[in-house]
Structure 1
Amino acid sequence: MLPGAPLPHMLCSHLQNVTRKRIQLTSIPYTAMNLGICGVMLRQGLISNLTRGHPLKKSTDPLNPLGFDNTPKTHQALHITLKYRNGLPVLARAHIVSRPSVHLYVDSSELKAMLTGGRIKHRQGMGMGEIAVVRTKDGRYLEGWEAYAEGVGGEVICKLGGY
């Protein structure tokens, strides 16, 4: 990871903060990691939309993906539209699993044990309604069960879940 690059815990804490404030639309820096994690959230139905564009000044600003490729890398952003049902956020919890000081790497058998709720390497397994985001050795970001179905392991980045 590059010095100064956003870490997964920044994304997790940002998502927790915006869901607690019941904010519908938020922007995060455009990085491969953020795009991968948000792509998993979109595929699993935890968020309703993911758009790239310029950073928003206010959450009421219109999304404008035009000119994204001509924008300097430091000004590129991902816009996440969060889902709410009956006034409660669909994405209610975002917890970091691999920390900068202690990474959690698992193979497919350890991944299955974790996904079915078992403890692995002194870490608690998955709970009801939670998904794991796994970064594979080739740099793809997959949901835990997708990685297990492909028979690959990797680094468990974070756990995401609802109420």
Structure 2
Amino acid sequence: AEAYWWKGDMAKAMADVNAVRTRAGCAPYTDASKFDIGTILDERARELYWEEPRKTELNRISFIFAKTGKSYKGNTYTVAGFGTKNFYFDRMMEKTDWYNKGVKANNGQEYTMSAYHVLWPIPQNSISSNTQGIINQNFGYDGYANNKPPLTVIPAEDDL
């Protein structure tokens, strides 16, 4: 279903999801114009509960949105702006009541989330111990300001 959706074939995407829904005794979707990636993700959450690495799937889909420029509910995303605006963050804010809504943990700390939390920080010891190259930190985390631009040309071994 997801592959058909990315290709723009909503009828086939909806048919694939409806095959699962029918097997489960649920009413099928009937309007392909209202069928989107959110519908597919909702269905996957029901069908694959505790079986799918959800964060990994949302990250993967977020990168596809960023690379293709395809829109979701009027939002478009880019790889360059991935740490400040991405599908993962928008989907989490749309679907959860935990983050940025005043919910507090037992210790009183409030649950918050920012767009950069789509990626986790690279451990500092991994960055520091890499003496043969450079590992950059992900946007939003300590050490990001020290990042070096990626190579666009690999130098010949004689030039090193």
Question: Which TM-score tier does this pair reach, normalised by the shorter chain?
Answer: under 0.3
TM-score between both structures, scaled by the size of structure 1:
0.24
TM-score between both structures, scaled by the size of structure 2:
0.24
Which of these two proteins has the greater Rg computed from alpha carbons?
2
Higher relative contact order (Cα pairs below 8 Å, separated by 6+ residues): 1
Q: Which has the higher helix share?
A: 2
